[in-house]
């Protein structure tokens, strides 16, 4: 089955592009948006609509395989690629990517994605991570359609992975509406919650961490009230480096604070993502590792999750090799082609580091569904419900795709088993 054409269309994402640098500097909220001037190159406002590009492969038999190019909410921050706008990148996809794919046989996902992942433009630069991300989704979908298999099965076979017919825990994020949306996640019995978007010291963390501490106490009590005796989700909170800012990167003060958080969360297990932002890859690895070592020395079981400066497959390998974190977020759009996400999960698990197939609220339904197949095959510790910040929509997309796929795989296994007998 060959690709006979490639087309593209502009789209919207499930959230917005936000200028993280401006938000961290303390710009004022104005309804759903922000006042003040943007600080990150490419932004025209602190918050602007998220854009995507749907890439469609036309197959010989008339089938259409698709994937969505999208970038993360905080584009241009923490070493990431710049803002991704549809009008800027559709001409590149049609003019430079399409000729590489038209006429190709859809016989190998790994072979085809290499045509884009390892290519360079005339100026010597690689293609934007969002382009590689969306095109790789379309290729995986195309290979699955050509072989009449699920995307999960394609990954399992090409990477020689065992099939496990169990769901992967789903991590829901609340956005700024961290109380009402936490209720939604609890009612839906999400495996991991709430993210909580703690991205400002004064308004969300507290200058001594008191606001987050109060929130963890409330969240723990709310789970016990709404969830019942048989519901014990993992608490996973992203603090965007604000703990480091509040405690001036003093490791002992931060450990003391983590002890307070652990007590507040008990009996629930707690993960803290991005406790500090050192401003560089090397600095982040060094500081995260120092904090992790200090926590373990004092018997604190709160886990550290790497996010900022852990953007590419190569970055993830460095964090894992240094044992700098208990878990790495594998932020799917930042890694480019989804084959890098698959390989990052495999690598982290091999060396005993937790793997989290993340991504962004600023993706699309296509990215969410593809991440389900990646997760069912590669088996990370958790995956993100995406896109959006409303809980319901992203959780529905990911949860339902996971259950549909598991039902198909179980049916196929049972059918083969009956045939063998």
Please tell me the predicted confidence (pLDDT) of residue 78. 66
pLDDT at 124 over 90: no
pLDDT digits (tens, 9 = 90+) for 342-373: 999 999 999 999 999 999 999 999 999 999 99
Torsion angle, alpha carbons of 346, 351, 357, 360, to 10: -130
- The backbone region for 323, taken as left when phi is positive above 0, alpha when psi lies in -120 to 50, beta otherwise, is left
pLDDT digits (tens, 9 = 90+) for 58-107: 999 999 999 999 999 888 876 788 899 999 999 999 999 999 999 999 99
Look up residue 202 and give its two tokens: 């004064």
C-alpha 396/C-alpha 75 separation (Å) is: 25
Look up residue 273 and give its two tokens: 């993502």
- Mean pLDDT is lowest, of 109-113, 117-121, 230-234, for 117-121
Are the C-beta atoms of residues 50 and 83 closer than 8 Å to each other? no
Active-site residues, by number, are: 331
Please tell me the predicted confidence (pLDDT) of residue 100. 96
C-alpha 158/C-alpha 173 separation (Å) is: 32
Exposed, middle or buried by CB within 10 Å (0-12, 13-18, 19+), for 360? buried
pLDDT confidence band for 421 (50 / 70 / 90): low
pTM of the model: 0.94
Got the DSSP string for 174-191?
-TT-TTHHHHHHHHTT-S
pLDDT confidence band for 123 (50 / 70 / 90): confident
Could you tell me the CA-to-CA distances from 409 to 164, 165, 230, 348, 414 in Å, in that order? Answer: 10, 7, 28, 26, 9
Please tell me the predicted confidence (pLDDT) of residue 417. 78
Q: Which one, of 67, 27, 68, lies nearest residue 47 by Cα?
A: 27
C-alpha 196/C-alpha 239 separation (Å) is: 8
- Mean pLDDT is lowest, of 1-5, 235-239, 274-278, 417-421, for 417-421
CB neighbour list of residue 69: distance below 8 Å, 6 or more residues apart: 52, 53, 54, 55, 84, 89, 93, 128, 130, 131, 133, 134, 135
C-alpha 276/C-alpha 257 separation (Å) is: 13
C-alpha 243/C-alpha 207 separation (Å) is: 9
pLDDT confidence band for 416 (50 / 70 / 90): confident
Are the C-beta atoms of residues 140 and 67 closer than 8 Å to each other? yes
Average pLDDT on 386-400 reads: 96
pLDDT at 191 over 80: yes
Average pLDDT on 376-389 reads: 97
pLDDT digits (tens, 9 = 90+) for 248-275: 999 999 999 999 999 999 999 999 999 9
pLDDT confidence band for 39 (50 / 70 / 90): very high
pLDDT at 223 over 90: yes
Are the C-beta atoms of residues 339 and 110 closer than 8 Å to each other? yes
Longest CA–CA separation in the chain, Å: 70
Average pLDDT on 162-184 reads: 96
| 63: three-class secondary structure by DSSP | coil
C-alpha 269/C-alpha 262 separation (Å) is: 8
Please tell me the predicted confidence (pLDDT) of residue 20. 84
Look up residue 391 and give its two tokens: 């809980």
pLDDT at 56 over 70: yes
pLDDT at 215 over 90: yes
Look up residue 153 and give its two tokens: 């099965």
Please tell me the predicted confidence (pLDDT) of residue 120. 84
Give CA 46 to chain center in angstroms.
22
| 303: three-class secondary structure by DSSP | strand
Are the C-beta atoms of residues 222 and 256 closer than 8 Å to each other? no
């Amino acid at each position: 089955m060959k690709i006979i054409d490639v087309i593209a269309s502009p789209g919207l994402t499930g959230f917005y592009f936000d200028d993280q640098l401006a938000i961290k500097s303390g710009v004022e909220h104005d309804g759903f948006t922000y006042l003040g001037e943007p600080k990150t190159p490419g932004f025209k406002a602190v918050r602007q609509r998220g854009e995507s590009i749907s890439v469609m492969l036309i197959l010989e038999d008339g089938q259409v395989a698709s994937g969505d190019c999208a970038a993360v909410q905080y584009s241009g921050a923490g070493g990431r690629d710049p803002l991704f706008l549809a009008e800027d990148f559709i001409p590149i996809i049609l003019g430079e990517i399409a000729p590489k794919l038209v006429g190709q046989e859809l016989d190998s996902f790994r072979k085809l994605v290499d045509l884009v992942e390892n290519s360079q433009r005339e100026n010597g630069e690689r293609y934007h991570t969002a382009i590689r991300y969306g095109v790789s989704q379309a290729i995986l979908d195309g290979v699955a359609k050509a072989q009449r298999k699920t995307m999960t099965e394609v990954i399992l076979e090409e990477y020689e992975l065992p099939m496990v017919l169990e769901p992967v825990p789903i991590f829901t994020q609340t956005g700024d509406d961290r109380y009402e949306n936490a209720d939604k996640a609890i009612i839906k019995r999400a495996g991991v919650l709430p993210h909580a978007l703690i991205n400002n010291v004064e308004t969300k963390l507290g200058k001594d961490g008191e606001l987050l501490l109060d929130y963890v106490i409330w969240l723990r009590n709310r789970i016990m009230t709404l969830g019942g005796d048989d519901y014990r989700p993992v608490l996973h909170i992203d603090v965007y480096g604000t703990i480091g800012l509040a405690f001036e990167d003093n490791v002992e003060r931060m450990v003391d604070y983590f002890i307070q958080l652990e007590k507040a969360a008990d009996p629930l297990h707690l993960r803290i993502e991005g406790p500090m932002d050192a401003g560089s890859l090397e600095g982040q690895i060094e500081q995260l590792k120092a904090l992790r070592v200090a926590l373990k020395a004092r018997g604190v079981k709160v886990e550290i999750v790497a996010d900022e400066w852990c953007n590419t497959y190569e970055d993830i390998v460095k964090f894992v090799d240094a044992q700098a974190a208990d878990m790495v977020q594998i932020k799917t759009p930042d890694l480019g082609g989804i084959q890098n996400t698959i390989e990052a999960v495999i690598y982290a698990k091999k060396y005993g580091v937790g793997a989290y197939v993340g991504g962004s609220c600023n993706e699309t339904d296509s990215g969410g569904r593809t991440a389900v197949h990646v997760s069912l095959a590669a088996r990370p510790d958790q995956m993100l419900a995406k896109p959006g910040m409303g809980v319901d929509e992203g959780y529905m997309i990911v949860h339902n795709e996971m259950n549909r796929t598991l039902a198909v795989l179980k049916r196929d296994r049972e059918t083969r088993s009956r045939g063998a007998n």
